[in-house]
């Protein structure tokens, strides 16, 4: 404070700070309206700019008012220097927080544009936020007169020790970044690992990936597992996929008639059941002369992996009923055993085959 209590300076400083507070309120209202208009627009970048102004308007106005008030009070040089350093440090912290939010938003927008609206970009946004805040804290310490050179050396040695102690955690972190950057899997995809886990990807965070199984349970898989396993993504390269259904008919069946019947049922199911790709042609492919039947594959098309169960259910029911109407036999497995000694060359039929 000045040597003698100067009420005129105190009142002037209070007025200056009150004006700064009023300016902060006005800026808050204006930035709020600007933020609402930016949200209504289709362009994403104006939203980020409006949020930046909204974050900085009030604190910077108050800090500016506090600095002007401190000068009006005519503080001692030492007190004024300390005040300047404190206000500078607070400004750096506030700007760092706002910039971290802005840059994280930019990274999120770019990642969503590249990976689609279903993509999870938590890892990228969090890493960006931590880096920006870390730089901001170092600049703040430097502004307070703290030498950051020894701190950087200590951070280097400490970082090495932490990296050695947290090898698995860091491996999962970088594996998660790699998975998202390469777009191997994304939330919403149905995947199956060679180790047996399968389900819909729910979330990919810095350490693990959560998948929801068809029984509505959640399995948590470390990200590192994806680097040393074979993974099948049923939503890549396209979400729709072929559905192969195996069937068989007796050797005495008219295969042309069988094919016609199967195609009719397949077309009927594809047009009526939800989850089928309606414009896809039903295909029948005979492929094996088996022990007691001719095996064939029916090829249908579904919109995504989870729709196969409903489609299989309806197709098998309708095909079985139609085969019964048409008199087309679905044979049971059978074996014929020849009794060479003591049986006068008689034969014995055994059915089914596991007898």
- At residue 171, φ and ψ (nearest 5 deg) are -60, -40
> What number of other Cβ atoms are within 10 A of residue 91's Cβ?
18
Instruction: Find residue 295's DSSP bridge partners.
Output: 248, 288
Least confident of 157-161, 176-180, 277-281, 308-312: 157-161
Least confident of 107-116, 231-240, 320-329: 107-116
For residue 342, pLDDT over 60 is answered with no
Give the containing element (helix H, strand E) for 200. Answer: strand 198-204
pLDDT grade, residue 265 (50/70/90)?
A: very high
Side by side, the strands of the sheet bearing 218-222 are 218-222, 208-212, 198-204, 190-193, 231-233
pLDDT grade, residue 14 (50/70/90)?
A: confident
Instruction: Find residue 300's DSSP bridge partners.
Output: 243
Contacts 24+ apart (CB under 8 A), 20-25: 20/61, 20/62, 20/64, 20/65, 20/66, 20/68, 20/69, 21/61, 21/62, 21/65, 23/61, 23/65, 24/57, 24/58, 24/61, 24/62, 24/65, 25/58
d(CA 272, CA 266): 10
Mean pLDDT to the nearest integer, 95-122: 68
Q: Model-level pTM?
A: 0.56
* pLDDT (0 to 100) of residue 266: 94
- At residue 231, φ and ψ (nearest 5 deg) are -120, 135
* pLDDT (0 to 100) of residue 349: 54
* pLDDT (0 to 100) of residue 118: 42
Both tokens of 182, joined, read 């390469």
d(CA 242, CA 4): 89
* pLDDT (0 to 100) of residue 2: 46
pLDDT grade, residue 295 (50/70/90)?
A: very high
d(CA 349, CA 355): 10
SS3 307: helix
Give the containing element (helix H, strand E) for 338. Answer: strand 335-338
133-162 residue pLDDT tens: 888 887 887 777 777 677 666 666 666 665
Mean pLDDT to the nearest integer, 122-135: 76
Mean pLDDT to the nearest integer, 243-259: 94
CA angle at residue 134 from 133 to 135, to 5 degrees?
Answer: 90
**Residues ≥6 apart with Cβ < 8 Å to 235:** 186, 188, 189, 190, 304, 305
* pLDDT (0 to 100) of residue 45: 61
* pLDDT (0 to 100) of residue 271: 92
Mean pLDDT to the nearest integer, 110-125: 58
For residue 39, pLDDT over 50 is answered with yes
d(CA 110, CA 185): 18
Both tokens of 341, joined, read 């000694």
């Amino acid at each position: 404070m000045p040597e003698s209590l100067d009420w005129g300076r105190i009142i002037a400083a209070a007025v200056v700070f009150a004006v700064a507070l009023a300016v902060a309120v006005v800026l808050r209202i204006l930035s709020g309206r600007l933020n609402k208009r930016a949200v209504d627009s289709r362009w994403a970048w104006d939203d980020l700019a409006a949020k930046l102004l909204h974050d900085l308007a009030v604190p910077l106005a108050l800090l500016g008012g506090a600095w002007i008030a401190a000068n009006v009070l005519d503080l001692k040089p030492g007190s004024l220097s300390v005040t300047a350093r404190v206000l500078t440090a607070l400004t750096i912290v506030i700007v760092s927080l706002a910039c971290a939010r802005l840059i994280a938003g930019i990274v999120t927008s770019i990642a969503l544009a590249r990976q689609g609206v279903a993509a999870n970009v938590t890892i990228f946004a969090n890493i960006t936020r931590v880096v920006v805040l870390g730089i901001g804290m170092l600049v703040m310490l430097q502004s307070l007169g703290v030498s950051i050179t020894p701190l950087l050396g200590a951070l280097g040695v400490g970082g090495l020790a932490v990296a050695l102690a947290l090898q698995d955690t860091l491996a999962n972190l970088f594996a998660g970044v790699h998975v998202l950057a390469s777009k191997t899997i994304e939330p919403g995809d149905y995947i199956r690992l060679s180790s047996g886990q399968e389900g819909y990807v729910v979330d990919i965070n810095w350490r693990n990936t959560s998948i929801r199984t068809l029984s509505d349970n959640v399995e948590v898989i470390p990200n590192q597992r994806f680097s040393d396993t074979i993974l099948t993504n049923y939503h890549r390269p396209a979400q729709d996929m072929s559905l192969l259904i195996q069937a068989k008919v007796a050797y005495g069946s008219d295969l042309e008639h069988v094919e016609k019947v199967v195609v009719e049922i397949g077309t009927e199911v594809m047009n009526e059941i939800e989850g089928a790709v309606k414009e896809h042609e039903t295909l029948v492919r005979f492929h094996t002369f088996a022990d007691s039947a001719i095996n064939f594959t029916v090829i249908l098309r579904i919109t995504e992996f989870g729709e196969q169960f409903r489609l299989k259910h309806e197709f098998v029911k309708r095909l079985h009923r139609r085969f019964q109407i048409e008199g087309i036999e679905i044979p049971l497995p059978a074996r014929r055993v020849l009794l060479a000694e003591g049986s006068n060359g008689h034969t014995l039929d055994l059915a089914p085959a596991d007898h």
